[in-house]
Amino acid sequence: MKYTARILAAGLIVAFMTGLAPFALADEAPLPVREAPLAGVGALGRIEPKSRVINLSHDAGPEGARIETLDISEGQRINAGDRVAVFSEYRLKVAQLQALQSSIPVIEARINAATAAASLAQAELKRGQSLIKEKAVARAEVDRLQTAAAQADAEAQALGAELAMTRADIAASEEDLRRSQLFSPIAGTVLKIHHWPGERVGDTGIADIADLTAMDVVAEIYERDMPRVKPGQHARIRVPGTDLAFDGLVRELGYQVMKNDMNDTDPLADRDNRVVEVRITLPPEAATSLQHLIYMQVDVQISSD
């Protein structure tokens, strides 16, 4: 009897709790409603100068080059054509060029003398040819004069060829001298210096420069979303951790599908997506806010218009 009473009591307790369960749930706060996703295409992107970041390097081949002097500093603004660095072979190249240039007046003087000698030999030959008709000179003498004139003319021509070769050597030496220095191809700002005087330049180059007056965002669009992205579409760019947000326009669509470089902070996010890079133009006012955030990861939302 006691055992049966315990079973009945347990059943009543379960029934009572089951009956109250709906009332308890009704008093709790409702579950949040998930907002509908924004229209368009979402992606991660990175901040880049419109000019791209240019890595300045040597032109000395695989053996590299050692920096003699460095004419720039980080943060410095430079113009196109400004000298960035001088390599160790610069002084040797200057000496070689000066030696070639100094030989030009010497060769020209020899050419003048040879030309004068050739003219004199031609005049003597003509005189000898006129005298042989009068039988006033032997045929052998005329032959000698003819040989002398030909030799003088050949000497003048050889010196002319030597002058042309020397000038070609000077042009090549000037190019070697230019390659023993490094000049900036664009106007911009020095972002980072990788090597300093006394160091041999490696694969990282000497310095990175970029024009920071115009900024882009390079968005990594999933390959499946690319058919929905067109040039001219509006994009909203948000910089994580800040209040910065900018409106941009899609300018360029990439041609290659590649592995993504940007990773979401979500640990469950796919780390091996296939993406296409899309370049978005930012407004001019973005340059001031973003010039110290090159390559920072940003959130991109491209509208469906």
How does pLDDT run across 5-29, given as a tens digit for each residue? 454 444 544 444 444 444 334 444 4
pLDDT at 70 over 70: yes
Query: Are 127 and 167 in the same domain?
Result: yes
d(CA 244, CA 286): 9
Query: Are 139 and 276 in the same domain?
Result: no
Query: Are 269 and 203 in the same domain?
Result: no
CA 188 to chain centre: 12
List the domain range (segments joined by +) for residue 131.
Answer: 90-179
Domain for residue 30, yes or no? no
Query: Are 234 and 162 in the same domain?
Result: no
Q: What domain count does the chain have?
A: 3
Instruction: Look at residue 275 in the predicted model and tell me its pLDDT.
Output: 95
Instruction: Look at residue 51 in the predicted model and tell me its pLDDT.
Output: 95
Instruction: Look at residue 34 in the predicted model and tell me its pLDDT.
Output: 42
Instruction: Look at residue 218 in the predicted model and tell me its pLDDT.
Output: 97
Tokens read off for 17: 């709790």
How would residue 81 be classed by pLDDT, with cut points 50, 70 and 90?
very high
Report the CATH number that the domain containing residue 83 is assigned in CATH: 2.40.50.100
The predicted model scores a pTM of: 0.71
Domain stop point among 132, 161, 179: 179
pLDDT at 195 over 70: yes
Q: Which of 13-17, 120-124, 147-151, 262-266 has the lowest mean pLDDT?
A: 13-17
Instruction: Look at residue 209 in the predicted model and tell me its pLDDT.
Output: 97
Domain for residue 1, yes or no? no
Query: Are 127 and 169 in the same domain?
Result: yes
Instruction: Look at residue 116 in the predicted model and tell me its pLDDT.
Output: 82
Instruction: Look at residue 224 in the predicted model and tell me its pLDDT.
Output: 93
Query: Are 216 and 283 in the same domain?
Result: yes
Q: What are 31-67's pLDDT values in tens digits?
A: 444 444 445 899 999 999 999 999 999 877 666 789 9
